[in-house]
Structures are given as structure tokens and as C-alpha cells.
């Protein structure tokens, strides 16, 4: 399920939604729409940030064309242990244990017992944010 891609119209894109640019799942941060010209439809310039690599990407297409949208799944996991820049996590629904690299912005904040939100798209996972503090 996490490797799925769906289609959507460019007009359906909004800031904060996800889009696939160069086969990389990205979060939309800016949308510019040009007015229709004499010989064509309006164009949309979508600026997005890759959710796994943090790179800025741009997509320029007519507003009535289709675009690929990754199917994003979010789940909650509990931090079991932290070693250097890797966290061992346990999924709170399936109780599966797995390891993920800790994002730079959470490096010194993550502790065993924290609950985190994990985003999965296209068979890759990343820790998105801390949702619960360790007790």
C-alpha cells in the first residue's frame, strides 16, 4: 500500500498536500497560477520540498493536466532506544520493531519513550515529528 500512486488534477493541489515530482514524494509549499493566454490555458508553478531529502523541487504544468500524487500513510510509533543518529521504533498498531535515521531537527530531542509520527510513502519511512513526550 505504501508504494501506491494516484492521479489528481493540478487544480486540486493545495499548500500542505503531497505531489510526486521526478519520482520523489514532495510536500507543496507554494503555488503560482498564471492567467490564461491568447493561445492556451493557465499554467501552474508548484514549488515543493522532498519529504525524504529536503530538496526544493518545481513543477510547471497546465492547470487542467493530471499530476501523480503519492499515497502517504501516517502511523504512530514509540521510541524504544536511541543510538547516535538512529532510533529503534515500535509501531503502536502492529508492534513491529524497526530502525530509522533521526532527522537533523529532532536529533537532540528524541528520547526513549517518546511517541513519534512516522510518514511512509513509496516504500520509504521517515520520522516526521514528536507527538508525545516520554513519561
pLDDT digits 0-9 by tens, 73-86? 999 999 999 998 89
Question: Cβ distance 20 to 67 under 8 Å?
Answer: yes
CA gap 87, 19 in Å, rounded: 27
Q: How far is CA 90 from the centre of its chain?
A: 20
Question: Cβ distance 74 to 119 under 8 Å?
Answer: yes
Structure pTM? Answer: 0.79
Question: Cβ distance 43 to 35 under 8 Å?
Answer: no
Residue ranges of the chain that CATH labels 2.30.30.30: 5-70
40-55: b or e for each residue (b if 16 or more CB lie within 10 Å)?
Answer: eeebbebbbeebeeee
Residue ranges of the chain that CATH labels 2.40.50.140: 73-132
* pLDDT, position 2: 47
Tens digits of per-residue pLDDT, 32-54? 998 887 777 889 999 999 999 88
pLDDT level of residue 107 (50, 70, 90 thresholds) = confident
For the 5-70 domain, the top CATH level (class) is mainly beta
CA gap 14, 51 in Å, rounded: 16
Pick the CATH number of 73-132 from 1.20.1440.230, 3.30.460.20, 3.90.79.10, 2.40.50.140: 2.40.50.140
Question: Cβ distance 11 to 28 under 8 Å?
Answer: no
Amino acid at each position: 500500500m505504501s508504494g501506491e500512486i494516484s492521479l489528481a488534477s493540478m487544480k486540486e493541489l493545495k499548500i500542505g498536500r503531497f505531489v510526486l515530482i521526478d519520482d520523489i514524494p514532495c510536500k507543496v509549499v507554494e503555488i503560482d497560477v498564471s492567467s490564461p493566454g491568447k493561445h492556451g490555458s493557465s499554467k501552474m508553478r508548484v514549488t515543493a520540498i522532498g519529504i525524504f531529502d529536503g530538496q526544493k523541487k518545481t513543477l510547471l504544468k497546465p492547470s487542467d493536466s493530471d499530476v501523480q500524487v503519492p499515497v502517504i500513510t501516517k502511523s504512530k510509533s514509540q521510541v524504544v532506544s536511541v543510538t547516535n543518529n538512529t532510533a529503534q521504533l515500535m509501531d503502536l498498531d502492529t508492534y513491529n520493531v524497526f530502525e530509522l535515521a533521526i532527522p537533523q531537527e529532532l536529533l537532540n530531542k528524541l528520547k526513549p519513550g517518546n511517541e513519534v509520527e512516522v510518514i511512509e510513502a513509496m516504500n520509504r519511512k521517515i520520522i516526521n515529528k514528536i507527538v508525545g513526550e516520554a513519561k
